[in-house]
Amino acid sequence: MAKKQDTPKAPQKEQQKQKYQPTERQSAPRDEGRADAVQAQVMEIIGKTGVRGEIMQVLAKVLEGKDRGRIMRRNVKGPIKSNDILLLRDTETEAKPIRGR
């Protein structure tokens, strides 16, 4: 029997996959989004909302920015109590009031 001739192998560098290079968006620090956030203080907890009651609706007073002093209704997920400070990304949108059944 005759031996099969081996085909030449490709060089190792070409076979290796290119390493993952994160884009600028992915490599940005997580705290970057908080630079333009506005502080607001929780004045009153209105009630629970959401399908399972996991969202709290609160009245919050904006402490800085163009809407300083404005009291607005916001939905908050997670543990919250009166006088807590929230970081709001925008102060233009307001939550709809909770409907009674």
List the structure tokens of 77.
Answer: 């997920």
Identify the helix (H) or strand (E) that includes residue 56.
strand 55-62
Among 40, 31, 33, which Cα is nearest to 87's? Answer: 40
CATH number of 33-88, picked from 2.40.50.140, 3.40.50.300, 3.30.70.100, 3.40.1160.10:
2.40.50.140
Q: What is the pTM of this model?
A: 0.63
Residue scoring higher pLDDT (6 or 37): 37
End-to-end CA distance of the chain: 89
Q: Is the pLDDT of residue 71 over 90?
A: yes
Summarised one tens digit per residue, pLDDT across range 80-91 is 999 999 999 999
Q: Is the pLDDT of residue 28 over 60?
A: no
* pLDDT (mean) for 2-24: 61
* pLDDT (mean) for 87-99: 91
Q: Coil, strand or helix: which one is 32?
A: helix
Phi and psi (nearest 5°) for 30?
-65, -30
Q: Please report the sign of the dihedral spanned by the C-alpha atoms of residue 33, residue 38, residue 41, residue 47.
A: negative
